[in-house]
């Protein structure tokens, strides 16, 4: 399925000046898309011009951007670093970038291209010792670790494989090597517009209060944002609710 749903003009009205929100721009073939539950066959194209989308977020008062190279994630090697460079040069957004990151050279290239943080997923789960080396080289503040979860179990390889640990286990492993900022995506919520996993986030923060937890998946409204703030999340990555205007009347 390849739905065309061009991003529309009122997006700046949707996001206001709310610093808690981190918009997501997911890139396939140079276009801004969203997947449903990570399924590449279920993508919606929202814009042919991700740079313009990033500018519109900045114009709305947004400070951060979650930029995902889905081409790179699928290929296992970075594919959209030129787009990262263009967005970093044209905006003052604080950008985290990931997708296909495998080596120290990748990290250097991403940071040199203008990203403020490198986003890591499967490699952080499978090779925490490698991430620990990179933390020593670059500093923990240069990394944002994304953890995909289903029924509190960590999933890797495009959500297909169980990693053999729980989200609580994973967060504790990351804290042990100095990573304090993690975003957690509940696979069952991603792209479904059914609300975020409040209970899951509450559990993580209650058990590990020192974590700077970013919510991801399911955010539909400003009520969801308020709920996430109440349980102690530091921010929320938001996609479809911005692109499809569901938050416009709830500012």
C-alpha pair distances (Å), 225 with each of 53, 146, 205, 216 = 22, 19, 16, 11
CB atoms within 10 A of CB 78: 23
Active-site residue, 29 included: no
69, 106, 148, 227: the active-site residue:
148
82 is catalytic: no
Are the beta carbons of 101 and 120 closer than 8 angstroms? yes
d(CA 88, CA 19): 19
Q: Is 200 helix (H, G, I), strand (E, B) or coil?
A: helix
Distance, CA of 43 to CA of 28 (rounded, Å): 9
Residues annotated catalytic, as ranges: 26, 148
């Amino acid at each position: 399925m390849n739905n065309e749903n061009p991003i529309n003009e009122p997006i700046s009205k949707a996001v206001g000046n709310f610093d808690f929100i981190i918009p997501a721009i997911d890139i396939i073939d140079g276009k801004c898309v969203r997947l449903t539950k990570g399924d590449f066959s279920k993508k919606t194209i929202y814009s042919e011009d991700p740079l313009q989308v990033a500018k519109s977020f900045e114009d709305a008062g947004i400070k951060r951007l979650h930029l995902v190279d889905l081409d790179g994630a699928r290929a296992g090697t970075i594919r959209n670093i030129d787009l990262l460079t263009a967005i970093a040069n044209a905006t003052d957004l604080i950008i985290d970038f990931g997708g296909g990151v495998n080596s120290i050279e990748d990290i250097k290239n991403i940071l040199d291209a203008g990203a403020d943080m490198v986003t890591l997923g499967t490699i952080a789960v499978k090779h925490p010792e490698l991430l620990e080396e990179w933390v020593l080289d670059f500093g923990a503040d240069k990394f944002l670790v994304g953890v995909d979860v289903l029924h509190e179990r960590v999933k890797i390889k495009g959500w297909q494989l169980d990693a053999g640990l729980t989200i609580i286990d994973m967060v504790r492993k990351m804290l042990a090597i100095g990573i304090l900022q993690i975003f957690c995506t509940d696979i069952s919520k991603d792209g479904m517009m059914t609300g975020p996993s409040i209970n899951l986030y509450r559990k993580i923060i209650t058990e590990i209060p020192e974590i700077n937890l970013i919510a991801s998946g399911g955010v539909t409204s400003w009520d969801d944002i308020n709920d996430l703030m109440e349980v102690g999340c530091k921010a929320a990555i938001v996609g479809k609710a911005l692109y499809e205007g569901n938050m416009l009347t709830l500012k």
